[in-house]
Structure formats: structure tokens, C-alpha cells
Amino acid sequence: MIKQLEEVLNGASEIVKEGFLSNFELEFKSGKSNLVTSIDKKSEQFIFNYISKNFPSHGILAEEGSNKVSSSEYTWVVDPIDGTTNFAHGLPLFSVSIGILRNNEIVAGGISDVMTNTLYISEAGSGSTGNGVKIKVSERKTIDESLLVTGFPYNVKENPGNAFEIFSLITKKARAVRRLGSAALDFCYVANGVFDAFWEINLQPWDVCAGILLVKEAGGKISDYSNNNTTIYGKQVIASNGLIHNELQKLIFQKFEEPVSKNL
């Protein structure tokens, strides 16, 4: 399935790249911050058709609703554009992300960093690659020497899980913190040793499915804010090089456990 995964990611990436800066249609899903474009839908339809043709019995779980319930042990988890807000505003930081589940375990995943023409692929037990070259997480051992990345959910104004307090605390501790606007790319850059860790709350299965395996297979560690194992349905994620994981998790959990601040 890896060959087909690469093919469908490359095909969808071409659709997204051609649609970038075009005269696409724009809609709102659940508020002014949660966008969907006609290119998201076009990309998802291409992916849905490709999977349905090549693996007709497989299930599909996709962000824009092109779902297919199946009794098959396999489910493809699809984000046709991760970073739609960036895409819609002309910022060239977005991706296409597809993970493959077998009996609810992630067995393969791929993320296309569309505008850099980089295809990240992982397969359980076989490592992670970027354009066919093995990648691995960084070796930095402390937060004060680390470059970190995070994101905020669509309901950020409600400050879920003390997201702002956590961001403030970590920013004061780390060398620097970035926010790219595409969780899938955040996972890629942790797996590739650019970022030393990534954390975020209230992500969806299509945001994390491919990325979780990519980081694990690159030698990194994944957990929730409580340092427990997490699944694609978990609501918090920390992805790191493993070396700074416990230090970061303790800092995040310290603020996460406090009463949520609404005074924003």
C-alpha cells in the first residue's frame, strides 16, 4: 500500500498546488476561523475516488465528510489540506495528510509538504523517510536549547486546557517557539529533527494519524498531556525527540491542571 499511498498523496498535492492563489470558493464550517475551500473538497474527492478504486473494501474517514463505513480492517484517515487558513490567505505552509489504520492501529502514513515538494512516508517497523531518505528526530536534551512548535484550536478564545498559559510558560523556557498553522507539518519537522517537540490540544484524527507514526518511526515519543499513550482520538498530543519529553510534559501538565482562565 505504500506505493499507492505515495501516488495518491502526489496526485492530491498537484491539485492543491494548482489551486493555490487561484480564484477558489471559500466557506465557513463552524465559525470565521474554521475555513474550507473548493480546493479542499477537490483534493478530498480525488483521494476518495483513488482509494475507492484501488481498495474498494477499505473504510475512509475524511475531514470534509467523504466518509466510507466498511467492515474492512483497514481505514484511511484523510486531511485533504492541513493548514487551510494558511492556504486561503496565500501563506505557503500547508500539507496533505493520509494515515492508514489496520484494526485501529496506525500501520502507515504519509504527509506531503506541498510547496517544498517533500513527501514524508512512514510504515510501522520500517522507519520514516523524507523523499526516500531516512529521517530521525533531533538529539537536543534540554528545553532551553530547543526549538519547539505548537498550534491553537479553532475555539482558542475559550482557552481550552489553559492553552495560552501553557504557551506563555513554554515560550519563557525554550530557545524559541513557533506556530506554523499545520499540525501535520509540525509532526514532519519534529520527525526530521527541525523542531525538538510539538504540542497541541483539541486536534482531530485526520490532523494526527499520519504524524503520530511519522514521529514514532523517526525515533521520537508521543503522549498526551498526562504522559499516557494517546490515540488518534485523543484530545491532547505531545510529540518530541524523546529526550526532552518528560521535561516538556511536566511543564505543560503544570498549567493544564490549573483552573482554565477565561480572562482573555
Indicate the residue among 67, 100, 134 that finishes a domain. 134
Instruction: List C-alpha distances in Å: 26 to 85, 86, 88, 180, 252.
Output: 10, 13, 8, 21, 35
Planar angle of CA 205, 186, 199, nearest 5 degrees:
70
| pTM, entire model | 0.95
Planar angle of CA 50, 34, 66, nearest 5 degrees:
25
Give residue 260's pLDDT band: very low, low, confident or very high (50, 70, 90). low
Residues 123 and 152 in one domain: no
Residues 219 and 241 in one domain: yes
Q: Report the CATH number that the domain containing residue 206 is assigned in CATH.
A: 3.40.190.80
Which residue range forms the structural domain that includes residue 231? 143-256
How many domains, in total, are found in the chain? Answer: 2
Residue 264 lies in a domain: no
Residue 83 lies in a domain: yes
Residues 27 and 149 in one domain: no
Residues 22 and 125 in one domain: yes
Instruction: List C-alpha distances in Å: 62 to 25, 39, 43, 90, 118.
Output: 20, 14, 11, 24, 22
Residue 92 lies in a domain: yes
Residues 128 and 81 in one domain: yes
pLDDT at 156: 87
pLDDT at 10: 98
Considering only 42-56, 60-74, 120-134, 250-264, which range has the smallest mean pLDDT? 250-264
At residue 29, does pLDDT exceed 90? Answer: no
pLDDT at 247: 98
Residues 122 and 159 in one domain: no
Residues 8 and 41 in one domain: yes
Residue 220 lies in a domain: yes
pLDDT at 75: 98
Indicate the residue among 99, 134, 169 that finishes a domain. 134
Residue 118 lies in a domain: yes
Indicate the residue among 134, 151, 173 that finishes a domain. 134
Nearest to 205 by CA among 40, 76, 44: 76
Alpha helix segments (H runs only) across the chain: 2-19, 38-54, 84-88, 163-173, 183-191, 205-217, 245-256
Greater confidence (156 vs 126) lies with: 126
Greater confidence (43 vs 158) lies with: 43
Q: Report the CATH number that the domain containing residue 95 is assigned in CATH.
A: 3.30.540.10
If phi > 0 it is left, if psi is from -120 to 50 it is alpha, else beta; for residue 135 that is beta
Residues 122 and 93 in one domain: yes
Residue 263 lies in a domain: no
Residues 159 and 67 in one domain: no
At residue 77, does pLDDT exceed 60? Answer: yes
Residues 78 and 188 in one domain: no
| Integer Rg of the chain from CA | 18
Residues 162 and 192 in one domain: yes
pLDDT at 262: 56
Residues 117 and 60 in one domain: yes
Residue 261 lies in a domain: no
Report the C-alpha gap between 198 and 180 in whole angstroms: 11
pLDDT at 33: 76
Residue 163 lies in a domain: yes
Mean predicted lDDT score pLDDT of the chain? 95
Percent over 70 (pLDDT), the chain:
98
pLDDT at 261: 60
Q: CA dihedral in degrees (103, 36, 110, 17; nearest 10)?
A: 160
Copy the grid coordinates of residue 128. 520514516
Instruction: Give every CB contact of residue 223 below 8 A, 6+ residues apart in sequence.
Output: 229, 230, 237, 238, 245, 249
Average confidence (pLDDT) over 21-39 = 88
